[in-house]
């Protein structure tokens, strides 16, 4: 753990204070230049973070634990106590659905204050803004008696859990994690860590390049190796 902060206050000021805290201390803002002007771009889309915070504050069980925000090198998430209301499931959050706030008075104040709409579009906005920013689709799950929303950085969205969901076999998952750790992997290294022959390694690596678009083949001949595509731009 590098930093830990606590923010308290009314919901209106709390939202801005948390965003400021994230920007000043927890999130990196890569700098680019367009002509003579410096452009600072956030790691994650601000509208997505804003909706995550609003959803947590409006739908949280206030008799339970505090809303918790965690920022990692490769992702950030927001957790609030309180499961989904009856009649809503995780799949419905990806599409148009009815708004069922756990705290209707707080939701009404936020609506009248211009912070939210009344149509249950918060989770849809999170997904859409991440897609527009060319980031992976966020993960929305129920966990530990609460609701967890996770945003991923594109180049580091290669956790074992998500690789399994993509359909990679055990050998390929091991290779991707190896490449994340070491920066690259060769055909020979693939054979060694998986105890397979060259033909099997070549077939699996070719799938990681052509089917899953996770690896890119760099170089030719004996000196060639495989690298995670997004690490080239990092």
Rounded distance between C-alpha atoms, residue 123 and residue 59, angstroms: 12
**Percent of the chain residues past pLDDT 90, beyond the cut:** 39
According to DSSP H, which parts of 118-183 are helical?
122-132, 160-166, 170-182
Rounded distance between C-alpha atoms, residue 199 and residue 2, angstroms: 45
Closest CA to 58 of 13, 100, 23, 87: 100
Taking the CA atoms of residue 158, residue 135, residue 22 and residue 110 in that order, the dihedral angle to the nearest 10 degrees is -130
pLDDT at residue number 160 = 82
Q: How confident is residue 206, by pLDDT bands cut at 50, 70 and 90?
A: very high
Name which of 93-97, 197-201, 225-229 the model is least confident about.
93-97
Rounded distance between C-alpha atoms, residue 114 and residue 89, angstroms: 27
Rounded distance between C-alpha atoms, residue 153 and residue 76, angstroms: 9
Rounded distance between C-alpha atoms, residue 203 and residue 213, angstroms: 14
Name which of 7-11, 131-135, 200-204, 214-218 the model is least confident about.
131-135
Rounded distance between C-alpha atoms, residue 210 and residue 22, angstroms: 38
Closest CA to 74 of 43, 29, 52, 50: 43
| Block residue for tokens 């060694």 | 192
Taking the CA atoms of residue 164, residue 214, residue 95 and residue 125 in that order, the dihedral angle to the nearest 10 degrees is 120
Residue 205 to residues 90, 110, 165, 171: CA-CA distances in angstroms? 34, 51, 18, 10
Tell me the backbone φ, ψ of residue 51, rounded to 5 degrees. -65, -35
Residue 39 scores a pLDDT above 80:
no
**Residue partners of 43: CB distance under 8 A and separation at least 6:** 27, 28, 29, 30, 153
Q: Which domains does the chain have, with CATH numbers?
A: 11-154 (3.30.565.60), 160-232 (1.10.10.10)
Rounded distance between C-alpha atoms, residue 122 and residue 127, angstroms: 9
Average pLDDT, the chain: 86
Residue 234 scores a pLDDT above 50:
no
pLDDT at residue number 154 = 60
């Amino acid at each position: 753990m590098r930093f830990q902060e606590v923010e308290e206050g009314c919901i209106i000021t709390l939202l801005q204070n948390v965003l400021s805290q994230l920007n000043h201390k927890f999130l990196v803002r890569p700098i680019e230049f367009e002509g003579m002007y410096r452009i600072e771009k956030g790691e994650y889309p601000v509208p997505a973070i804003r909706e995550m915070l609003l959803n947590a504050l409006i739908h949280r069980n206030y008799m339970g634990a505090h809303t918790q925000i965690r920022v990692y090198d490769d992702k950030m998430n927001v957790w609030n106590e309180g499961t989904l209301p009856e009649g809503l499931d995780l799949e419905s959050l990806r599409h148009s659905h009815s708004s069922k706030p756990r705290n209707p008075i707080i939701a009404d104040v936020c609506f009248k204050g211009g912070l939210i709409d009344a149509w249950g579009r918060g989770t849809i906005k999170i997904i859409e803004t991440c897609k527009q920013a060319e980031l992976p689709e966020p993960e929305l799950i129920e966990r530990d008696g609460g609701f967890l929303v996770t945003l991923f950085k594109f180049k580091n969205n290669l956790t074992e859990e998500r690789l399994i969901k993509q359909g990679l076999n055990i050998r390929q998952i091991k290779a991707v994690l190896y490449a994340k750790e070491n920066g690259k992997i060769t055909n020979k290294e693939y054979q060694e860590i998986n105890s397979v022959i060259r033909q099997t390694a070549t077939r699996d690596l070719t799938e990681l390049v052509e089917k899953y678009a996770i690896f890119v083949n760099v170089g030719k001949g004996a000196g060639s190796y495989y690298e995670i595509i997004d690490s080239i731009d990092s």
